[in-house]
Structure 1
């Protein structure tokens, strides 16, 4: 109550000063100072172990990487509409798309007080070539894209890449910058467990990590060069029941199931956002292990024999959309609706099987939703002549098995469905896992020359409209081929208390506001 009264008193002071002053600039300055003086908010989120938050030790899924992003800045960032300046205040592209010249902001400090220089940028890109981080945006088709980094002067540098490529600005821009004075003598970054490994130049600094409890604490970095923090600290705390913890005020956000969302809709103390469908489930075929899956008729039988709308209704309670067989999410700006679609048609599925029967093992995680999805798949496929055995393991074990191709068919859920459509090349047009995340898993044993050709062509096409045409054609081919089964994309709910904090936002390509660095910073009007 005292805090609310303090805020009201401050607002009254601002109103009085505004009435007595003829300077809009003075009023703006006082308002900005008020934001700074009231920066005492502590956000608490549900915990869980996602690894130590260095670029080399966090777990590959989103909750691990996005924690690390709060500590480490990059040349560029993302907001609701696209790529924006960050460490680099501006950039230009020369030499027919092969030279990227970045101008750096002044007076950027590392969390230990040392000043960031162009040497740190050059060191980072050289170091990543020898030691790829967990999230590695700098490898394409198995090759490192940076040929050389040249320091022009104290605030400018040039990054020379191997070829002109539509995806390279984002790839260079999102690489997390490392402090040279800390990492230059680190021979094996995966064994560098010192707290110094979490020193970045981001808006928050590392305070605490408890692996057993899955607890983290970050605090606002007082000498941060960029936008002022709106949140004093962010804590991830262990909870056994997220709904109960949220309603008791122990955590500040929750993603409830549709069954109970009504209790928040009727209460003005809560606000609700609906996440975009950029997280989803898919069924991956391992054609190396089970060569029968190279038969397109068998894959089409799977497509017609699985009731994806039933999954939306029964598993997600309607808070989802059946996924596109062209993979690109239906909420993506480059989604092509003019592709082959597969509704649940068991009789048509049987025709594709031509009287044959099959038996496969599906590897899945052990969470409730994944088990339910697998059970529904098992039931509907049994009706058409495909027997399914379900093997459930913990998430990390399943992810490792998928990465190592140790499965027949795998059910996996992940984000990244709103990212640059080069994701189609990473999944369908290459046999390597490039960026280290589950969303880039390739399809073992699958090969289609035309899809590979278009996958390579789209990233080299710098004309946006022409590139979009290629992406549309790729979705059409992928839907016709059915190399895997995209199941559904979730449209989950995000509930919070606006009186506690109302700064949550989404970047244009991601589905969780708590993952967004800008959610915790003062935004320019």
Structure 2
């Protein structure tokens, strides 16, 4: 009997170890995303950096009223349904009744009304609420938003971009830009804040088990700063990364899933139109003729991209105008226009009042999804402008410093870039003038010198009839291309790759995340049913292929051994 007891004890220990290892393996599921830049600010609405990657890191924690997926938008999120009351010029949203904040407090209509009033008092860079009069909670799960006039982009710009804040936390916060207490990271999204290292550029999120759309299919989401995202993916250090265009075939052959992005991001030449001669429309048109967009695509992108529309809106957008004025490369035409402004040609350089025509160009390392990338654009632009008699001084700085100089008007020309050009055409308005109630943006021209363009914007923003609004959007692009507040250079074709064995199917969001961010890191990829079924199937397959004897088989064998010893 002693042998029997020993065997049974051994069986219990073995079974406990096996069951523990199985449970542990099943619960520790994480996704690691490679990031070359690292620091995009704390993942809280007022603390994240005011570019797409900063918003993306915040959206895992904070939900909006509505959202977009890979095929359509808006779709329900915190709001299960909604309607626009034309006679009252109001929006009514009915919220889901099972949403909770990460501290367990229910999400209610009061939180939505509070968020609107709070952001009107403390402007939030991604949302402009100048057309919203007020909001009120009709009942616990119904909120009514009163407009001060028609506002065509409302659903995407406010409904699908404004992160809802918990009133019980933020009601006492007077300085949101300085608020870094734990409450700053309490949201209602699928993931809870776990950690952020500004020094190391890493982010860590944990699944919110009580998320109203269901528990996420992974337990942890981690952003890892790495010098070479592509190599990190190949080494298995991460599951998702941006890759170089020329590596698409190689990565596909190695079993990775490669996704190509739509052309919803543009490299753009910012122009300080407060300085002479840049304040002259004729000179800006001369710049356009001096620029060879195809050379940028061939040399900077190695052919993986396309020339941009001069009307800012992506040529692939449903809002794109078919009649945008064009500036085919013509250095001779550029010289003629510059001469018409009183400049004289002198040994390869234009001069006026004995001073050479000289411009400083700021360049940075901005690239795929905000990731740093070697800059070739500055040298290409310098060469093109010098061919038409413009001396160029190149100044290379990090992206944040370039942004700061542009905001402070401390520049002549600056090579920048942004997304959003495939989403609602409000982007044309936002990137041209300084929107009332908003903070200066480094990629907004702040150009308010054309009454014709302003009239187009008025219709673009407030026309509620779809066909009439489309006409206004087309005309706005045409006028923009004549005025040239800035000059779009090209659309890069971006590629990302992910390991399908990780169980997450990443995708590009139609029109971009929120108000147009062209980064394929939509949180819906981590909570959709299809992905959950795929992950379950993967776990089952791994269990079937495991060389470890099953738990029940171990029990059966040990019982048979014990029975045999007892009989003998």
TM-score, structure 1 length as denominator? 0.87
Match of 1:67 in 2: 57
Match of 1:117 in 2: 108
* Structure 1 stretches of at least 4 aligned residues deviating more than 3 Å after TM superposition: 37-41, 366-371, 429-439, 511-514
Match of 1:146 in 2: 132
- Cα offset, 1:230, TM superposition: 2.2
Match of 2:535 in 1: none
Instruction: Tell me, yes or no, if the aligned pair for 1:429 and 1:456 is still in contact at 8 Å.
Output: no
Instruction: Tell me, yes or no, if the aligned pair for 2:319 and 2:474 is still in contact at 8 Å.
Output: yes
Task: Write the distance in 1 (CA, Å) between the matches of 2:420 and 2:454.
Answer: 20
- Cα offset, 1:435, TM superposition: 6.7
CA shift in 2, pair 1:370/1:462, >3 Å = farther
- Where does 1:101-500 land on structure 2 (aligned, <5 Å)? 101-135=92-126, 137-139=127-129, 144-173=130-159, 174-267=161-254, 269-288=255-274, 290-354=275-339, 356=344, 357=350, 358-366=357-365, 371-430=375-434, 434=438, 438-439=442-443, 441-443=444-446, 447-500=449-502
Instruction: Tell me, yes or no, if the aligned pair for 1:505 and 1:518 is still in contact at 8 Å.
Output: no
Q: 2:67 aligns with which of 77, 86, 94?
A: 77
Unaligned residue ranges in structure 2 (runs of 5+): 1-24, 345-349, 351-356, 367-371, 532-568
CA shift in 2, pair 1:393/1:406, >3 Å = same
Write out per-residue CA displacement over residues 360-401 of structure 1, whole angstroms, 9 at most, x where no aligned residue.
111121467573101101001111111111111111111122
Instruction: Tell me, yes or no, if the aligned pair for 1:428 and 1:451 is still in contact at 8 Å.
Output: no
SS in 1 for 2:454: helix
Task: Write the distance in 1 (CA, Å) between the matches of 2:529 and 2:215.
Answer: 9
Task: Write the distance in 2 (CA, Å) between the matches of 1:53 and 1:294.
Answer: 39
Task: Write the distance in 1 (CA, Å) between the matches of 2:441 and 2:104.
Answer: 32
CA shift in 2, pair 1:224/1:165, >3 Å = same
Instruction: Tell me, yes or no, if the aligned pair for 1:208 and 1:216 is still in contact at 8 Å.
Output: yes
Write out per-residue CA displacement over residues 212-264 of structure 1, whole angstroms, 9 at most, x where no aligned residue.
00011111100001244222211011212222211111111222222333321
Instruction: Tell me, yes or no, if the aligned pair for 1:104 and 1:156 is still in contact at 8 Å.
Output: yes
TM-score, structure 2 length as denominator? 0.81
CA shift in 2, pair 1:472/1:39, >3 Å = farther
- Cα offset, 1:416, TM superposition: 1.6
Task: Write the distance in 2 (CA, Å) between the matches of 1:501 and 1:403.
Answer: 42
Instruction: Tell me, yes or no, if the aligned pair for 2:272 and 2:278 is still in contact at 8 Å.
Output: yes
- Cα offset, 1:53, TM superposition: 0.8
Task: Write the distance in 1 (CA, Å) between the matches of 2:294 and 2:489.
Answer: 9
Task: Write the distance in 1 (CA, Å) between the matches of 2:441 and 2:222.
Answer: 24
Match of 2:528 in 1: 522
Q: Which has the larger radius of gyration?
A: 2
CA shift in 2, pair 1:436/1:108, >3 Å = farther
Instruction: Tell me, yes or no, if the aligned pair for 1:432 and 1:442 is still in contact at 8 Å.
Output: no
SS in 1 for 2:246: coil
Per mean C-alpha deviation after superposition, the further-off stretch among 358-367 and 48-57 is 358-367
Q: 2:43 aligns with which of 43, 53, 69?
A: 53
Unaligned residue ranges in structure 1 (runs of 5+): 1-36
CA shift in 2, pair 1:473/1:84, >3 Å = same
CA shift in 2, pair 1:406/1:211, >3 Å = same
Write out per-residue CA displacement over residues 178-230 of structure 1, whole angstroms, 9 at most, x where no aligned residue.
11111111111111111221000100000111110001111110000124422
Alignment size in residue pairs:
480
CA shift in 2, pair 1:430/1:97, >3 Å = farther
Task: Write the distance in 2 (CA, Å) between the matches of 1:483 and 1:490.
Answer: 21
- Cα offset, 1:265, TM superposition: 3.3
